[in-house]
Amino acid sequence: MERLGAGPTSGGRTTLEDPAHTSADGSVAPTGAPGERRDDEEEAAPPGLIRHVLQGIPLRRRVGILVSVGGGLLVALIAAAVFFTAQRALYDQLDESLVQRATVAASGDLADPSLLLRVSSDALAAGEVRVAIVTAGGEFVTLRGNSPPLGAAEVSAARRSPPTSVRTGVIDGEVYRVVAVYAGEDRALVLAQELDPTRRTLSKLAVVLLVAGASGVLLAALTGVAIARAGLRPVERLISATERVARTGDLRPIPVSGGDEIARLTSSFNAMLAALSSSIDRQRRLVADAGHELRTPLTSLRTNLELLMASEQASHRPDAPRLSEQDRAELQADLRAQVDELATLIGDVVELARDDPPEVAAEPLDLADVVERALDRARRRGVAENVTFDVDLASCEVTGDANALERAALNLLDNAAKWSPPGGRVRVTLRAGVAPERPGTAVLEVADAGPGIADEELDLVFERFYRSLDARTMSGSGLGLSIVAQVAERHHGGVSASRAPEGGALLRFWIPRS
């Protein structure tokens, strides 16, 4: 029987182990002053730096990197959870086995020191188990060369405070799992088993998890690249389409497949292309029609100017024919009329060429006052000198552009006066919602007693530059009613043409009331 000492001894005596410096798996806890920063601690990278780095990477690679990093972190977390769970399970299984064996041995003859000394040390070594008996006074009995790590925890077990202890100890450079159980008569039976087999099992598991984790990270990277390519392929089609539009001006729509957000984005882009194509087509038609309409007054203007210049040159030669004063006056009046017609045509073209409404703030106004001003202007024009206007205007509060509404009303009045016979009457009516199919609107009706509009032309009179066969012999550009339709559209209203009870044309213009 020997007593536990404070220093190293030979044979069966061992030093007192401090369990506070040994972890459950045999690793040594780090030492150092509290609050002291370790050298291997790194400060977290600022989020701004990560954002800056990602902004310099193409979107497809960015998505692939993020998916790969996310998959890699998930695989690493799963591998770490598996490893620590297996480690805890193996240590718990070993502790349970040692405690059970020590309890059975303590209830038998092995707790007798005299019997323990007769047990062959080779037999215990073959089982990788070391056995000792410790008393409450710190004395112990062990086999020479087969002593387990002993310390204060085993003495406490002999004193039954507590009656069972489990810890990790080191002796002769080997790590053991040490279990002590109370064996009666102020003695404790100590069993210690090497941890090398368990550690080798955990090492193999770590290698397997490392290989599986690396494979998982690689698979996550490949999956991320595949997801990025598949998910961003519609976006790449959109990019190619925009580059094609910018390079060639080709506005063909992009094929749409599926019903996800990318498909909706593609549909929206196709709608934008269709609107852009429609706008370009309208501009082209406007330019072509304007060029055709401008050619006639410009040709006539050039002819009259050349004739006037020729007469001026002929006045310096006595034998050359000369224009009479009446012909010269008629020629000059014709030139002034052609210039006025050309100016009006150019103004109408500029007005219709504007796809967006002019930046004029809408204001509340009475449409009856606007029509009255248009009537005053129409009466002062030569075309309305031989026409009488029958006016019936009701007050209608609307919100809109007063100048645009006045021009629309004036165009309707000019059109009716132009087609009315000499001494004819033009009926002008303004009512609030006179048409049952258009409640809540202010409706302006202008009816004349002229030849009227053919049924097949009722839907065409508001088209740009449209002129019937009878109208081609009269003055005008074919843009007046188009401007009326444009003003109605900008005010969320509409126009229509039909036959009037007087036998002529009945034109309606309506916009919402305030």
Q: Is residue 180 classed exposed, middle or buried when 0-12, 13-18 and 19+ CB atoms within 10 A define those classes?
A: buried
Beta bridge partners of 444: 430, 509
82: Cα separation from own chain's centroid? 38
Domain 261-352: which topology?
A: Helix Hairpins (1.10.287)
The pLDDT assigned to 316 comes to 65
* Residue with the larger pLDDT of the pair 123 and 430: 430
- Taking every pair of Cα atoms in the chain, the longest distance, rounded to a whole number of angstroms, is 165
Q: Which of 350, 506, 339, 344 is nearest to 427 (CA)?
A: 506
- Topology of domain 2-24+48-201 in CATH is Beta-Lactamase (3.30.450)
- Quick check: 376 pLDDT over 60? yes
Domain spans, the chain: 2-24+48-201, 261-352, 357-512
Q: Say what percent of the chain tops pLDDT 70.
A: 72
Render pLDDT for 6-40 as a digit per residue (tens, 0 to 9). Answer: 443 333 433 334 433 333 344 333 334 444 444 44
Average pLDDT over every residue of 298-322: 73
For 16, counting Cβ atoms within 10 Å of its Cβ (0-12 exposed, 13-18 middle, 19+ buried), the class is middle
Of 344, 341, 345, 355, give the one whose Cα is nearest residue 486. 355
Question: What is the average pLDDT score of the chain?
Answer: 75
Task: Quote the pLDDT of residue 470.
Answer: 52
Q: Give 367's pLDDT tier (boundaries 50, 70, 90).
A: very high
Instruction: Name which of 208-222, 350-364, 378-392, 479-493 the model is least confident about.
Output: 350-364
CATH for 357-512 is 3.30.565.10
Strands 129-135 and 187-194: antiparallel
Distances (CA, A) of 478 to 14, 296, 411, 481: 118, 13, 11, 7
Which residue is it, tokens 């019936």? Answer: 392
In this predicted structure, the answer to whether residue 446 has a pLDDT above a threshold of 90 is: yes
The secondary element (H helix, E strand) that includes residue 350 is: helix 325-353
Distance CA 320, CA 304 (A): 18
Closest CA to 344 of 487, 175, 483, 157: 483
More confident residue, 20 or 384: 384
Tell me the pTM: 0.43
Predicted local confidence at residue 278, as pLDDT: 81
pLDDT in tens, 59-105: 777 777 887 788 888 888 998 999 999 999 988 888 888 888 888 77
Statement: residue 50 has pLDDT above 90? no
The mean pLDDT value for 267-286 works out to: 81
